[in-house]
Amino acid sequence: MEELTLTTPALLFSAVSLILLAYTNRFLSYAQLVRTLKEQHLEHPSKVTRAQIDNLRRRLQLTRMMQALGVSSLFFCVVTMFLIYVGLFDVAAWIFGLALLLLIASLGVSLHEIQISVRALEIHLRDMEK
C-alpha cells in the first residue's frame, strides 16, 4: 500500500464540504415545507397532508443521519491528517478508511432519502390527478 500523505485526506475536504452544504440546503427546504404543511393541515386536514407529514418526518430523520455521517467523515479526515502529522501512518490509514466508509454510508442514506422524496412527489401528483 502506498504511504498516506497529508494531501490525500485533504482532497476529501472540498467534496465533503460541498455534500454537507447540499444536505444543509435540503434541510432548510424541509424546514420551510414543514411550516407550510403545518398551516395546510391546520386549515384543511386531509389524508394527503397527513401522508406528506409522515413522509417528511422520515426524510428529516434521514437528513439528520446523512449530516451526522458526513460530519463524522470530515472529522476522521482531520484526525487522519493529525495522525500523519505525528507520524502514526498505520493508524492514520485505518482512520482514513473509516472516514471513507462513513462518507459512503452518508451517500447511501442520501440515495435512500432521494427515493423517499420521489415518493412524496408522487403523492402530490396522484392528488392532482383526482
Task: Tell me the C-alpha distance between 10 and 81, whole Å.
Answer: 8
Q: Give the C-alpha separation, 117 to 110, whole Å.
A: 10
**Tens-digit pLDDT string for the chain (130 aa):** 567 888 888 888 788 888 888 888 888 888 888 888 888 878 888 787 777 788 888 888 999 999 999 999 999 999 999 999 999 999 999 999 999 999 999 999 999 999 888 887 887 787 777 6
3-state secondary structure of 45: coil
Alpha-carbon span 40 to 124, nearest angstrom: 14
Give the closest residue to 110 by CA, choosing from 38, 48, 18, 8: 18
Residue 43 in grid coordinates: 386549515
